[in-house]
Amino acid sequence: MIIGFEAKRAFHNKTGLGNYSRMLICGLSKEHPEVHSFLYSPYMDGEYKSYFTSYANISTRQPTGFDKRLPNLWRSFGVSMHLKGDKVTIFHGLSHELPHGIPHDIKKVVTMHDLIVWRYPQFYSLFDRRMHKIKQRHSCHIADTVVAISESTKKDLIKYLHIPEEKIKVIYQSCDPIFWQPIDENEKADIRKLYDLPERYIVCVGTIEERKNQAAVVRALAELPEDVHLLIVGRQHGSYIREINSVIKNYKLTSRVHFVSNAEFENFPGLYANAIASVYMSRYEGFGIPILESMCCDTPVVTSNVSSMPEAGGDAVLYASPDEPHEVATQLNMIISNPQLRAELVAKGRVQRQKFTQEKVIADLYNLYNTLDPQEEDDL
């Protein structure tokens, strides 16, 4: 089996789509050495190139000659010219898009993580909105199988893009392997010292933007004990930070809210593990990775009762409306004041997270590939 991957984000995205791509490619290569993967990306000089060099069954392709001058055009059209020569039998677009011109006898798979541009178009410029919609519509309709990372995303695919239900396969995603490693007390102490963490804090991880709804978490903080702080971990995006700072000022919480925008990814598990609780009040997510990351670090979670969050959290987390900061505060206070509840949530989280292991994701995808690979069919 020879699989081609649209791999730009595997080489350059630090979180989210990049982590998903690296986890899938490396996991597949490790678990199934008989599978050969070709990674197609216009850029391969990123910090993640070393992830793939140790695998003998991974090859890379990038534009050469004149194509170097038009890397995005090569990514959208030129990639398809290499597939026959590389004997690719399945091509998988890992993040919402497939190139044009893929030969008809090559099976096509595209992973759809979310449909934010369809549900919240106001968060995009007019150009980006049109471009994303064109690419997503094209990719989903030419794909033989559309992988949705949650039932919530599947429903959106049916509603907004009118993709037949039988064409969609729900395969949940996992999180980076570093979150699955045990964290000892010495490591936690090192992280606490490195980031000068408060004694008691709740952590909120995610890009600072309106959809992630950090302002509601700040408002909830006002109803928590005064010695409890809030650590907001994520890149600042757009003007939403001004709204958050205004809320902080109005509620007189300046000394209790701490922003960490430059944390090393390898330190994220320690930032979770030192927290009393993790809070994630996003209004919409394809899956909600911080929920899983928190459970992997044995950190109780309060999250939104909408979108895909209940799928990720199951019965292992507490829920609140993203529009009701008082509900968020009530749930957080329960965790803070009730050690028994905290222990119960940690125990349930250890069970819930087993639904999303890397091994399970890889097994599900490998089974999908086997149903599509024409060579496998010929061998039967």
Query: Are 11 and 135 part of one and the same domain?
Result: yes
Give CA torsion, residues 62, 88, 359, 294, to 10 deg: 40
Q: Per-residue confidence at 377, pLDDT binned at 50, 70, 90?
A: very low
d(CA 356, CA 377): 29
Q: Tokens for 359?
A: 């091994």
Q: For the ranges 53-57, 130-134, 136-140, 190-194, which has the lowest average pLDDT?
A: 53-57
Tokens coding 287: 């899956």
* Mean pLDDT, residues 292-320: 97
Q: How confident is the model at residue 256 (pLDDT cuts 50, 70, 90)?
A: very high
Clarify whether residues 344 and 363 are in a common domain: no
Number of domains into which the chain is organized: 2
Regarding whether 270 and 334 lie in a shared domain, the answer is yes
Q: What are phi and psi of 126, to 5 degrees?
A: -60, -45
Token pair for 354: 């087993």
pLDDT at 68: 80
CATH number for the domain including 330? 3.40.50.2000
Phi-psi bin for 288: left (phi > 0), alpha (psi -120 to 50), beta? Answer: left
Contact 173, 152 (CB under 8 A): no
On whether both 151 and 235 belong to a single domain, the answer is no
Do residues 207 and 304 both lie within one domain?
A: yes
**Amino acid occupying residue 27:** G
pTM of the model: 0.92
Give the number of other CB atoms < 10 A from CB of residue 50: 8
Whole-number CA gyration radius for the chain: 22
136, 200: one domain: no
> Same domain, yes or no, for 151 and 272?
no
Q: Are residues 290 and 216 in the same domain?
A: yes
> Same domain, yes or no, for 150 and 246?
no
Closest CA to 356 of 112, 37, 23, 18: 23
Confidence of residue 12 (pLDDT cuts 50, 70, 90): confident
312/351 same-domain check:
yes
306, pLDDT greater than 90? yes
Helix (H, G, I), strand (E, B) or coil at 151: helix
Q: What is the pLDDT of residues 17-33, one digit of tens each?
A: 888 999 999 999 999 99
Q: Region of 162 please: left (phi>0), alpha (psi -120 to 50) or beta.
A: left
Q: Is the pLDDT of residue 380 over 60?
A: no
* Per-residue pLDDT at 51: 83
Mean pLDDT throughout 29-43?
93
Q: Is the pLDDT confidence value at 218 over 50?
A: yes
| Contact by Cβ (8 Å): 113, 308 | no
Q: What is the mean pLDDT of the chain?
A: 93
- Sequence-distant (6+) residues with CB within 8 A of 181 are 269
In one-letter notation, the amino acid at residue 289 is I
Specify whether 207 is located in the same domain as 75: no
213 and 168 in one domain?
A: no
The 3-state DSSP class for residue 94 equals coil
Q: Which residues pair with 303 in a beta bridge?
A: 280, 319
Supply the range of the domain harboring residue 249.
177-355
Average pLDDT of the segment spanning 201-216 = 95
